[in-house]
Each structure stands twice: as structure tokens, then as C-alpha cells.
Amino acid sequence: MQRILTIIGARPQFIKASVVSKAIQAQEGIEEILLHTGQHFDANMSDVFFDQLGIPRPDVQLDIHGGSHGAMTGRMLEQIEAVILSEKPDRVMVYGDTNSTLAGALAAAKLHVPVAHVEAGLRSFNMRMPEEVNRILTDQISDLLFCPTDTAVRNLAKEGFDDKPTQVLKVGDVMQDAALFFAQRAVRPADMPAELLATDEHGKAHAEGKEGASQANPFVLATLHRAENTDDPVRLAGIVEALNRIHQDVAPVLLPLHPRTRAAIARQGLELLTHTIDPVGYFEMIWLLNHCDLVMTDSGGVQKEAFFFGKACVTMRDQTEWVELVENGANELVGADTGRIEEAVRRHLGRRVKDDGELYGGGKASERIVEHLLQGVDA
């Protein structure tokens, strides 16, 4: 029986782990121990995912959050090391590019426990992003590198991984697995603004359908949370101005607003004119992605999710890890320039994009990951 210690701690990792955990449970000869670092500690940002996505409750809960990057990572490293020593896993598996990712990989490597990295090979080529540092270092100390795309495989080849004792494996993107699996369970956010809901001839909003989907009037879905935008007064002001202009002159903008972003906007004395709602769970986010006419975001995950649901995306960043979306025209990088953002939104509003199943694996990434885990490093 192979024992896998899976380490998660941030919102996107819950979603990714849910589909891989289901694939693990469907196989014999492999056992998963789930460790939640506590990096996202708000009940609306962590517990809801275990409830909604059907992930088993963590076997280990560290409750580590807050503080600087160094302090958080250091505390995680110490406590994850103790768990590895007590649980004695055959392999540690980490996801993405968070502090939880790096701490888990580093603790395992120091104890000579093999590491599998899901979403290996992604690069933004911006070393000012803490996520870039985390993902590069994690790749360097992993022996199974599960790449979501051809671009990720090429990135690792350029960094010399072909000559290292590692397995670089293109498996596809587990986020597509999750989107396809959970699409039928999407639900409309409870605080969805009434004016964005389609109404009948009597002015009543359409009721939810049997699959939790109801009609919506055209709107732009926006997310804004990345520190490079929220912590930079000039960038944040430019983005807020663009959101306001689009909301007033192009199409209504709906922004699920994280408390940290709300605080940054208030701190700068900016006025946000868009529709705002509280942060949403994954099923609510799927509903919004499925019903919007365009996505604006600075999130890595939301860029892909827009593509999974056939929506064009305007990305308010200067670089992206998902360069293949830019190359095929599904995504446009616009930085934080107000004019560029507004112009791109006008061009892409309502445009649909097609998925031929080649970019992200067609929803089979989780199965491929588990197959390789069962086969071991010689897969």
C-alpha cells in the first residue's frame, strides 16, 4: 500500500485536490493522508470547500496563517516535518505555488521523501511574485513533475530538467477535471444583484432550474485580489477606474470582493461603482462563469476557468503562466492601464472561445496523475 501525504492550504488547492482525491479513492493500492496547513483560515474560504466538494476532512489540521511570507513558511516547514516523521508517507504531493506548496516540498526533501508537484513547470517570469519563487523552488526539489500543458513541459526542458533524475509528465490540468465534474452542481449566489437576473413579463426573476441554473442579463464577471495590483496604489487606481468606466459605459460589472481587496480600495480612498458581492464558493463561481459575457481577472485559476466555460478573458496582469491562452486568442493581457483594459473589454465582450480538448487534457488529468503515482518514479 502506497501512502501519499497530500498538502493543501489555499482555496485553489482545495478544488484541485478534490478531483485527485476522488481518483485515488477509486484505486486500490494507494492511501491518501490529507494535511491542511490552514493558510486560508476564513470559514468561507476553506471549510465550505470540504463541505461542497466532498473532500474528506483533513487528517491533519495545522491552523497556520498570518504573518510574513518567511514567518508563515517557516512555521509550516517545522510542523509539516513533524507530520512526515510521524506518518512516514512514501511520497508527499503538493499543488500549485503557495507557501504551503513550498513548505511541504522542502520538508519532504530534507527528509529524503520523494515529492510530486501538481502544476509543475508554470512560469510567469516575474521573480517579484512570491508564487514564482515558490513554484521554481518546488520544481527543483520534486521528482515527479506533473505538468498541465506543453508550455510547462518546454519551460522545464529549458531549465535543464531533461538532464536531471526527475520524471516530467504532461498530464493535463486538474482544474478542467473539476470544472467538468462540478458544472452540474453550480448554484446562483444568494446575493446576486436583482437587476442582473433575467425576469419574465411580470417582472419576476426566473426560478432556478433543476440543475441550479437560472437566466441572467448580460454582465462582466471580475475578480481582483493579487498583491501586485492591490498593494500598488497606481495599479489599483487604474484598475478601479477601468472597472467603473466599464460598469457605467459598457456592461454591468459584478465583482465578488475579497475583504483584503475591499480594505485596500478603502485605504486609498477609491470609489468602486460596480456591483459587489461577498466572496463566493466554488459552485457559485461556476454559475457566474457559466452566465457571464466576459471575464476580467488577475487570478491564474480564473483565467483557465473562463476558458473551460467558453468565455473570453481580459487579464489585468503584465505576465501570465497560461501563455497558451494568450497564444490562441482566448485571453488578453492588459496590465493595469485603464484605457487598455476598457478597450479590450469592448472588443471581447460576448465573444465565445472553443476548447478542442488539446490544451488542458480534456478532463482526464486526475486519472493520469494517480496512474503515475501507482507506477512510481519509473512510470
Active-site residues, by number, are 225
By CB neighbour count within 10 A (0-12 exposed, 13-18 middle, 19+ buried), where does 279 fall? buried
Nearest to 36 by CA among 64, 16, 12, 15: 64
For the chain, the C-alpha Rg in angstroms (whole number) is 21
Measure the CA–CA gap between 253 and 196, rounded to whole angstroms: 10
Grid cell of 350 as nine digits: 460576448
User: Positive or negative CA dihedral for 131, 137, 138, 143?
Assistant: positive
Measure the CA–CA gap between 303 and 305, rounded to whole angstroms: 6
| Amino acid, res. 79 | Q
Measure the CA–CA gap between 147 and 133, rounded to whole angstroms: 17
> At 116, phi and psi to the nearest 5?
-105, 130
Nearest to 226 by CA among 106, 344, 98, 72: 98
Grid cell of 90 as nine digits: 512514501
